[in-house]
Chain A
Amino acid sequence: SAVISQKPSRDICQRGTSLTIQCQVDSQVTMMFWYRQQPGQSLTLIATANQGSEATYESGFVIDKFPISRPNLTFSTLTVSNMSPEDSSIYLCSGRQGWETQYFGPGTRLLVL
């Protein structure tokens, strides 16, 4: 199994600012993902973080708003840029080991005022 940690665990930010969330996995994973979970809702995939190259974004998410880096097999960052109150969500990092098993971090709870 993999243990995933995220920093910060929560933050309150002002409109128009940016926040970078860090994700660290304690062992190598084949793939890393970033999800958003809006209040009371299910998880929506933002993007797949690709090592050493540009992330692959899902429909409705763009690199300018959610730039992602993955410099190695166990670390990734997600930046939420030019934030608005609509960006208030839980952001979850996830890593896949083997063919199919995905593990999740504890999430970063973001409130934008």
Chain B
Amino acid sequence: AQSVTQLGSHVSVSEGALVLLRCNYSSSVPPYLFWYVQYPNQGLQLLLKYTSAATLVKGINGFEAEFKKSETSFHLTKPSAHMSDAAEYFCAVSDRGFGNEKLTFGTGTRLTIIP
């Protein structure tokens, strides 16, 4: 079964600093990979996804992630943090297939922005 590991349950960065949230997957075959964001008291919003096109994926709100097969990683970055980025971020993975594969979530990283 697919799984993802998110390193760091809590990450704090200063406003304007680089945001780096780490995600590693466990699969010998490149899967589909996703980043979701959950703002306080809200559901999950899709930030970006990797499905086999370009390895550098751009998402909403200035976030991007790079798929690195050699490192089995899909880290999320943003060049300059804003206060509004404070939220919980989840990396998720699913097998490639015919659309009925299950999505498995990491344990999440809570991002705090320091003014």
Closest to B103 in A: A102
Which residues in B have their C-beta under 8 angstroms from that of A105? 43
In the bound complex, do residue A92 and residue B98 qualify as a contact, i.e. CB atoms below 8 Å apart? no
Within 8 A of A (CB), among B61-115: 90, 94, 96-103, 105-108
Is there a chain B Cβ closer than 8 Å to A75's Cβ? no
Taking a contact as CB atoms under 8 Å apart, the answer to whether B49 and A101 are in contact is yes
- B34, B42, B103 — most chain A CB neighbours (10 Å): B103
A residues sitting closer than 8 Å to B (CB atoms) are 4, 30-31, 33, 41-43, 45, 48, 92, 94, 96, 98-107, 109
Beta-carbon contacts of B40-66 to A below 8 Å, as 1s and 0s? Answer: 011111100101000000000000000
A42-B105, A103-B46, A107-B43 provided; 13 other pairs, C-beta below 8 A?
A: A31-B100, A42-B90, A42-B108, A45-B102, A45-B103, A92-B43, A92-B44, A99-B51, A99-B99, A100-B49, A101-B46, A102-B46, A104-B45
Question: How many pairs of residues, A versus B, come closer than 8 Å at their CB atoms?
Answer: 51
Smallest beta-carbon distance B39→chain A, Å: 10
Closest chain-B Cβ to A22's Cβ sits at a distance in Å of 15
Return B3 CB to nearest CB of chain A, in Å.
11
Interface centre among B43, B98, B102, B103 (most CB of A within 10 A): B43
Number of interface residues of B (CB under 8 A): 25
- Selected contact of B98 from candidates A45, A99, A104, CB within 8 Å: A99
Q: Please tell me if the beta carbons of B49 and A42 are within 8 angstroms of each other in the complex.
A: no
**Chain A residue at minimal CB-CB distance from B31:** A100
B96: which A residues are within 8 A, CB to CB? 100
What are 30 inter-chain pairs, A to B, with CB distance below 8 A?
A4-B43, A33-B103, A41-B107, A41-B108, A42-B107, A43-B90, A45-B102, A48-B100, A92-B43, A92-B44, A96-B99, A99-B51, A99-B97, A99-B98, A100-B49, A100-B51, A100-B99, A100-B101, A101-B49, A102-B34, A102-B46, A103-B46, A104-B36, A104-B43, A104-B45, A105-B43, A106-B42, A107-B42, A107-B43, A109-B41
Q: How far is the CA of A92 from the CA of B32 in the complex (A)?
A: 21
Enumerate chain B residues within 8 angstroms of A41, measured Cβ to Cβ. Answer: 107-108
